[in-house]
Structure formats: structure tokens, C-alpha cells
Structure 1
Amino acid sequence: MNDNSKTRALMRRGIEFLGSEYAILCGAMSWVSERNLVAAISNGGGFGVIACGAMTPELLDTEVAETMKLTDRPFGVNLITMHPDLFDLIGICEKHGVSHVVLAGGIPPKGSVEAIKAFGAKVIVFAPTLALAKKLLRSGGDALVIEGMEAGGHIGPVSTSVLAQEFLPDLAADHLVFVAGGIGRGEAIAGYLEMGAVGVQLGTRFACATESIAHPNFKKAFFRANARDAVASVQVDARLPVIPVRALKNKGTEAFTGKQREVAGSLDREEIAMAEAQLQIEHYWAGALRRAVIDGDVENGSLMAGQSVGMVREEEPAAQIIATLVEQCEDALVRR
């Protein structure tokens, strides 16, 4: 009987930090990472994270309460730093005693980290450069996620393997670092744990779990796709610093190029300010994602997926996905 002791030993700090059976976070995927998938992942031994995305405080309030009815295990909430109601959303997390808050999508605004820590929650941050990572960890971040460009959704410009080699030797001894982006199998998890990561984050691998509410059409598109089908969006205008998004190629990816042109035109004519322009782009993604995930419009909606999509072949329960990843990881560590 395999007790996964090598995996647990290398994940020990991550497990203690998260309070889960394994230090396997689920990436927050808008519309997908909701109560059903989040609870299934936490119940299955991982750590589920609600994707707040563009939710209003009222919607988040309901989502957290409903998730708590489905699991008594810890889970987190992912908040987008540019959300206009960020502090109200933090208030909702406080109201429910959420244990971990993930701040994504930019540098946390002044006072946000303090507001989260004030009610005893742990703060997980993202950083694209080592200098910024150190700054965020110094100013209150309890753990860091480094996410490579292989990931689905909003991505940075550097691959996971390079980020891991840059960040882990420098940070792993004193800080908790999770690695994300393009992870589809346990052998890769083993490698990052050996480099000093305390755990990993996967999104794409969980998107088509049995408990995921994603439309059957959305899941079928994932099962059919290969790594090369998950492409990054193109930036149309240098003044519109749109973070590239990785998604499966379809009419929706082309429509986004048109949307950028439209917003850039509004900027040209000085009809909107830069912050509003970026918010319009964010809302565009929320709508396009909804069309694909909820309505099943896989032609015109956004099929956000990481390059590990080629490893997603069928629907499986979240607990089974976690068990398989851990087993593969343990086997790799034992072989070494």
C-alpha cells in the first residue's frame, strides 16, 4: 500500500499552510471554479479556490455560503486586484471567516493585504518578476504562486520551467512558493517539489472534472484539443496594455482582436480613461467566458485553456484527478 509519504514530505510546508491533505491548489477559473468544483476539490484532498472574477459582493456572499454547505474543508477565494469593489469583497471574506485569499491580476492596492490579514486570513500573491515577488512577500504576502505562460487565461511572458529556476533557488528556503502553468501530470509536480516548491496549482486539468458545471460542449472542446490549439491572444495596440489570454482558437479569439480595436479607438477619441479601457476588456472576457462555459457557445465564447489541455481526455471526479496526480508524483519520487 502506497502511503505517498515522499510526496507528503516534500509538500509538508504547503500542506500545513493550506490545511489540505495535499498542497494541490485549483487555479481560479471564472465561471468554472464555483461552489461545486471548489467543494469537490477540497473534499478530494486538494485546495479549491472560488474565482470571484467580476462577481458583485452579493454574488460572492452567496457563493462562499453555498460552498461552505458542501465542504467543511478549507478553501480559498481569488480576488482580482482591479475589481472596483475589492474592499467590499474582502469584507465578504471576513464575514464568512475565509481562511485564504488569493490576490491576482496586478499589484495589490494600498491597504488590501492589511485588510485581509486583519481578520486572520492568509494572503497568496502572484508575481511575474523576482524583485516584485520579494517586495510582495516583504509587504505581507504569506505565499507566492509563480505561473508560467503555459497556463490558461491571463498569462505572463515567461515559461514555468524558467520561472521555477529563477525563483525557487532564491526564495524556497524562506518562503512558500507554489508553481503553476502547464502542469498536467504528477511527474512534473515531483520535479517542482524537488526544486523547492511547497506545492502546485493546476487549472486546466480540473476544468472538465465531473463536478465542473462547465457545459458539455465546453468539455468536448477540451477533450478534442491539443497543446498547440491553446494560443495566446495578440495585443493590437501598444497603449492598451492588455494582458495576453491563452484560450483555444475559435471565432471568439478573433472577435477579441476586434474588441481591442474598438476600445483603442475610444482611447484615441479620449472618450474613456485607461483604467476604464482595461475594465472594459476585463468585462469582455467575463462575458465571452460565460458564453462558452455556461451557455456552451464554443464557437463565439472564450475557451480559456492551458497548454496542458492535451492531457485532458475525459471527465473524471476531482478526487480521482488528485489521486492520479499524487500517485504519479509518488512513483516518480520513489524511482529517483
Structure 2
Amino acid sequence: MTEARETLDRLWKPGCEFLGSEVAILGGAMSWVSERNLVSAISNAGGFGVIACGAMEPERLEEEIVATQALTKRPFGVNLITMHPKLDQLVDVCLAHNVSHIVLAGGVPTSAIIKKVRDGGARAIGFAPALALAKRLVKMGIEALVIEGSEAGGHVGPVSLTVLAQEILPHVKGIPVFVAGGLGRGDAVVSYLEQGAVGAQLGTVFAASQESIAHENFKKAFLRANARDAVTSVQLDERFPVIPVRGLSNEGSRRFLKLQAEMVQKYQEGELSKEDAQLSIEHFWAGALRRAVIDGDVENGSVMAGQSVGMVKEVRPVADIMETLVQQAVEVIAKRDHRVKDLG
């Protein structure tokens, strides 16, 4: 097993060196979930925690960064949504508090904001759902990429990680690329490391950990769920676009379908303008994630989860989860080496 662990360490060494962590596993930034407690637990367990800024105001983000730094002396990052109206100020807050890595998500960052992050002494990480964007971001100065497949929880793109990895990993050179989406075991991570990735981002498995502040009902919903229960939000009419979000099917998602049907009908009958109908559809999920995560209303709230939710069988400490992921990775490498020797 010693040789297998050494192989694993070689495979993700570039990822560990880039993050400053012992293992190249990032915690996915999940709104309401990826806060001081979970982020510090992931970093303290040897991984790399990431604060989900979401819609936070600069003062609120500052408070969260300071609180996280009080809980861990290890590196962690902050995930910023590029469409946030106060993005510049949020970057300033991160730089003022010596946050080592800033993840620019939820859209394509500008060259100026990437330069600001780098000039301020932080590392800039971006998301690439396609090869063309990956190459564009590299030219713009991004220092690392996360490629996230549609199996992930929350807001997702249309392409699976299996396909994205084949499309992107052989063609992006010179910067670290981390994989994400549907990952729940260490042996799966190894398969992508061997394709050229330097590490992985996992969210769902950590959302149901002991250190996660998510409501007990939220975690129980994860334990009950199978992969097929984590579905993307359905768009009924192309005239009224719906941003695809993956979460557990519940009463809320069923009511969302009914609402869309009602709005389409009212628009067609001239009772509502197109703008008002679209607004009603968009407002349906306002506050829904908080209702599920914090209040525990898992029937009407948005229970964002990736398809790896079916592998979450118990609520465990983050350190145990991390240890299991590493053990699974080492075991699959050892088994492969053993098979190769037998064939030889």
C-alpha cells in the first residue's frame, strides 16, 4: 500500500502544491452550507475548504473570512459570483484578509478582475464548462480551472464530467485542472487524475457531514435519496427559460412545474405580459435554499444535491470522509498494480 500511496501523492502533487493542502480535494462552494464550520473542517482535515460568498455583502463576507481564520491556520479559498454587483469590493475584502485563493464562478470573469486578484497576491481559479472557454480563460490569465459536469448539485451545465474530461484535459496545458460533478469516492477521483486532472472538487458528500450546519432534515433527505432522485429543474416552455438546478425532487419541484404551466397559460390568454410571467417563474425559488438548509423544510425548499447523493449513507465527520476518500484512492491504485503484475 505504501507504493500505491506514493503513486497517489505523485498524481495529485501539482494540485496539492497549487492549493497548499495535503490532499488535492476542494470542498464545493455551497450557499448556506460552505461557511466557517465546514470550510475550516475540510482544510483542517488536509483538504481545501472554500467559502461560498453567494449574495453576501462585503461586510458579511469579511465576518465569515475572519471567523474561518479563527478556526483554521491552513489555506482556504473564497468563491465569488462574477455577477455580484459588488464584486470589486468583495475581491478587496479577500485580499485585505490574505485569502490565498479566489474562485470566480457563476459567469465569465473579466480580464481586469483576474488581474486584480493576481496583482493582490491571491491565486485566481475559474470554471470552464467547455474547451473553448477553458482556452479563453487561460489566455485571460486564470491560474487554475475547475471543470464541473452536469452530475453536480446546484446550478449545472449540460455536459457530464465524463465527456468534459475527455474534451478538456488532453488540451489544457500549463495550468492545474480540477474535476467536479458526481464524485463521491476516491477511486473515481483516481481515474481523472490519471487522465491529467490534478485534483477534485466534492460538495454533496460534505454537505451531509457532521460539521455541516445544514438542518438535520436536510441531511436525512440526503441519506434517503438515490442518484435518480437528484434531478435538474424542468423547463416547460422555451419562451420562459429556467436555469437548470440539480436538487432532490420534492413537493416544491412539483409545484414549480404547475406554476410554469399556469404562467404559460395566463400569458397565452393575455392575462399576463411575458415579462410578468417570467418574473413569477424566476421568483418561485427565492429563499428556497435557505428554507431547506437552515429551516429544514425539505418538502418546499430547494434541496440542492448532486447525483453522488446516493453514495451518502451516513452523517460522518469531515476527517473520516477525507480519510475514506484517500483510502479508496490508494486501494484502487494497489489493485491495478497487482493486476498488471499478474498479467506480466
Taking structure 1 as the reference length, what is the TM-score of the superposition? 0.92
- Aligned letter for 1:251? E
Q: How far apart, CA to CA, are the structure 1 residues paired with 2:301 and 2:137?
A: 34
Which residue number corresponds to residue 14 of structure 1?
15
Q: 1:296-323, CA deviations, whole angstroms, 9 ceiling, x for partnerless residues?
A: 0111111000000010011111111111
Q: Compared with structure 1, are the counterparts of its residues 7 and 268 closer, same or farther at alpha carbon in structure 2 (3 Å cutoff)? A: farther
- Aligned letter for 1:223? L
Which residue number corresponds to residue 123 of structure 1?
124
Q: Which moved more, 1:256-265 or 1:90-99?
A: 256-265
Q: Following superposition of structure 1 onto structure 2, how do residues 251-270 of structure 1 map, counting pairs within 5 Å?
A: 251-257=251-257, 268=273, 270=275
Contact 2:101/2:124 (8 A) holds in 1 = yes
Q: How far apart, CA to CA, are the structure 2 residues paired with 1:31 and 1:184?
A: 21
Q: How far apart, CA to CA, are the structure 2 residues paired with 1:18 and 1:179?
A: 14
Q: Following superposition of structure 1 onto structure 2, how do residues 185-200 of structure 1 map, counting pairs within 5 Å?
A: 185-200=185-200
Contact 2:233/2:242 (8 A) holds in 1 = no
Residue 8 of structure 1: CA displacement? 1.1
Q: Compared with structure 1, are the counterparts of its residues 26 and 267 closer, same or farther at alpha carbon in structure 2 (3 Å cutoff)? A: farther
Q: Following superposition of structure 1 onto structure 2, how do residues 240-279 of structure 1 map, counting pairs within 5 Å?
A: 240-257=240-257, 268=273, 270=275
Which residue number corresponds to residue 87 of structure 1?
88
Which residue number corresponds to residue 6 of structure 2?
5
Which residue number corresponds to residue 57 of structure 2?
56
Q: Following superposition of structure 1 onto structure 2, how do residues 28-67 of structure 1 map, counting pairs within 5 Å?
A: 28-67=29-68
Contact 2:232/2:244 (8 A) holds in 1 = yes
Q: 1:64-116, CA deviations, whole angstroms, 9 ceiling, x for partnerless residues?
A: 01000000000000011111111111111111111101111111145221221
Q: Compared with structure 1, are the counterparts of its residues 55 and 174 closer, same or farther at alpha carbon in structure 2 (3 Å cutoff)? A: same
Which residue number corresponds to residue 216 of structure 1?
216
Structure 2: segments with no counterpart, 5+ residues: 337-344
* Alignment partner of 1:300 is 2:300: yes
Q: How far apart, CA to CA, are the structure 1 residues paired with 2:333 and 2:291?
A: 41
Residue 175 of structure 1: CA displacement? 2.2
Contact 1:26/1:49 (8 A) holds in 2 = yes
Contact 1:53/1:286 (8 A) holds in 2 = no
Structure 1: segments with no counterpart, 5+ residues: none
Q: Which moved more, 1:101-110 or 1:324-333?
A: 101-110
Q: How far apart, CA to CA, are the structure 1 residues paired with 2:289 and 2:83?
A: 18
Structure 1 counterpart SS, 2:90 = helix
Residue 49 of structure 1: CA displacement? 0.3
Q: 1:12-36, CA deviations, whole angstroms, 9 ceiling, x for partnerless residues?
A: 1000000000110011011000000
Structure 1 counterpart SS, 2:78 = strand
Q: Following superposition of structure 1 onto structure 2, how do residues 103-142 of structure 1 map, counting pairs within 5 Å?
A: 103-109=104-110, 111-142=112-143
Taking structure 2 as the reference length, what is the TM-score of the superposition? 0.90
| Higher Rg | 2
Q: How far apart, CA to CA, are the structure 2 residues paired with 1:57 and 1:291?
A: 23
Q: How far apart, CA to CA, are the structure 1 residues paired with 2:250 and 2:120?
A: 44
Q: Compared with structure 1, are the counterparts of its residues 260 and 75 closer, same or farther at alpha carbon in structure 2 (3 Å cutoff)? A: farther
Q: How far apart, CA to CA, are the structure 2 residues paired with 1:269 and 1:330?
A: 55
Q: Compared with structure 1, are the counterparts of its residues 301 and 139 closer, same or farther at alpha carbon in structure 2 (3 Å cutoff)? A: same
Contact 1:285/1:302 (8 A) holds in 2 = yes
Contact 1:156/1:243 (8 A) holds in 2 = no
- Aligned letter for 2:109? P
- The two structures, once aligned, show a CA RMSD in angstroms of 2.3
Q: How far apart, CA to CA, are the structure 2 residues paired with 1:112 and 1:192?
A: 30
Structure 2 counterpart SS, 1:77 = strand
Q: How far apart, CA to CA, are the structure 1 residues paired with 2:272 and 2:137?
A: 31
Q: How many residue pairs are counted as aligned between the two chains?
A: 330
- Aligned letter for 1:91? D
Which residue number corresponds to residue 168 of structure 2?
167
Q: 1:94-144, CA deviations, whole angstroms, 9 ceiling, x for partnerless residues?
A: 111111011111111452212211211111111111011100111011001
Which residue number corresponds to residue 323 of structure 2?
323
Q: 1:128-172, CA deviations, whole angstroms, 9 ceiling, x for partnerless residues?
A: 11011100111011001111111000111111111111111111x
- Aligned letter for 1:52? C
Structure 2 counterpart SS, 1:102 = strand
Contact 1:6/1:334 (8 A) holds in 2 = no
Contact 1:24/1:200 (8 A) holds in 2 = yes
Q: How far apart, CA to CA, are the structure 1 residues paired with 2:30 and 2:118?
A: 24
Q: Which moved more, 1:260-269 or 1:198-207?
A: 260-269
Q: Compared with structure 1, are the counterparts of its residues 137 and 269 closer, same or farther at alpha carbon in structure 2 (3 Å cutoff)? A: same
- Aligned letter for 1:227? A
